[in-house]
Amino acid sequence: MLTVLYALLYYVAAIIFVVGVAKRVWEYWKTPQPAVIPTTPAPVTRTGVVWRMFKEVAFFESLWKSNKWIWIFAMMFHLSLWLIIIRHLRYFLDPVPTLIVLAQPFGKYAGFFFVLGALGLLARRMFVPRIRYISNPSDYLMLLLFLGIGLSGLGMTFVSKTDIVGVKAFFLGLMTFNWQPLPTDLPVLVHLGLVALFLIIFPFSKLVHAPGVFFSPTRNMVDNPREKFRPVPWLPPVDEVQYDPPHGS
């Protein structure tokens, strides 16, 4: 029964996640950005922009300039999230590629840093008056969701060991439409339930910052408005316009 429920949940969550994110990306892709508005100084070549964007998404360059505290917690949170995701690929791939095997020990302990990062971010939201002012209930809930995912995951790994082989069989089964029973101990159910929730809310929430940042015109545009002519799509071409008459005529 629980197996069916979770199987369906994961199919729905996966569809919402993929379609939802694709729709968002498509919207950003097709919405025009008529004026060239990079925050300057900005790169004057495409390669330069790629480098700028790399520094932004890999090292949070702007955040570093802004605030070292947030930077530390954000870095801790996102870096460990990456390691965790890479480590988790082992539950979807058979055989497990060597690279992911190598990442295993890092990914395992990254869970602690992930929780620590989320706690830091939560503390900032609760105790810094300016950030408390801008926080909505959803901002707290999102962090609690991550904490729940992280703690339940750590619980499965370090407290009460789960039948992880069974979990892997369940996911491989989902992908091949050959359903296998899901081990039903509580940490697994909580962990997987929260992750499904995460996938579902992703496209409708601020979590779209992850794909969104690549479309940010102040970061992804080449600084070349003088060199390259880009007409505004909804304005008539310049040879069809009427000029204002001179003063006094």
Q: How far is the CB of 83 from another protein (least distance, A)?
A: 20
Q: Which of residues 89-118 bind another protein (CB under 8 A)?
A: none
Please identify which residue in 4, 19, 22, 213 interacts with another protein, judged by CB under 8 A: 213
Cβ proximity of 217 and 37 under 8 Å = yes
**Would you count residue 79 as binding another protein (CB under 8 A)?**
no
Indicate the Cα dihedral angle 215, 217, 220, 222, nearest 10°.
Answer: 150
Please report, for residues 127, 137, 140, 193, the alpha-carbon distance to residue 123 in angstroms, rounded to integers and kept in the order given.
6, 14, 10, 25
- Least Å distance, CB 62 to another protein, is 5
Q: How many Cα atoms occupy the beta-carbon half-sphere of 214 within 13 Å? A: 11
- Taking the least distance from each CB to another protein, the nearer of 99 and 241 is 241
Token code pair at residue 181: 């029973």
Q: Which of 1, 95, 98, 130 binds another protein (CB under 8 A)?
A: 130
Element housing 27 (H / E): helix 2-30
Q: Which is nearer to another protein, 196 or 200 (CB)?
A: 200
Residue 114 Cβ vs another protein, minimum distance, rounded to whole Å: 16
From the list 17, 28, 109, 112, which residue makes contact with another protein (rule: CB under 8 A)?
28
- By CB under 8 A, is residue 15 in contact with another protein? no
Nearer to another protein, 48 or 181 (CB): 48
**H-type helices in 135-244, by residue range?**
137-154, 164-176, 186-201, 209-212, 217-220
Among 21, 43, 118, 191, binds another protein (CB under 8 A): 43
Cα separations (Å) of 94 from 43, 88, 91, 164, 172? Answer: 43, 12, 8, 14, 8
Distances (CA, A) of 224 to 41, 42, 115, 220, 227: 12, 9, 43, 12, 5
Here the tokens at position 127 are 């105790």
| Binding residues with another protein: total (CB under 8 A) | 72
Interface of this chain with another protein, residues 217 to 246, rule: CB under 8 A? 217-219, 223, 225-227, 229-232, 234-235, 238, 241, 243-244, 246
Kindly tell me which residue out of 47, 62, 160, 184 binds another protein, with binding defined by CB under 8 A. 62
248 interacts with another protein by CB under 8 A:
yes
Tell me which residues in 155-194 interact with another protein (CB under 8 A).
Answer: none
Are 113 and 76 in contact by the 8 Å Cβ rule? The answer is yes
C-beta closer to another protein: residue 119 or 131: 131
For position 31 contacting another protein by CB under 8 A, the verdict is: yes
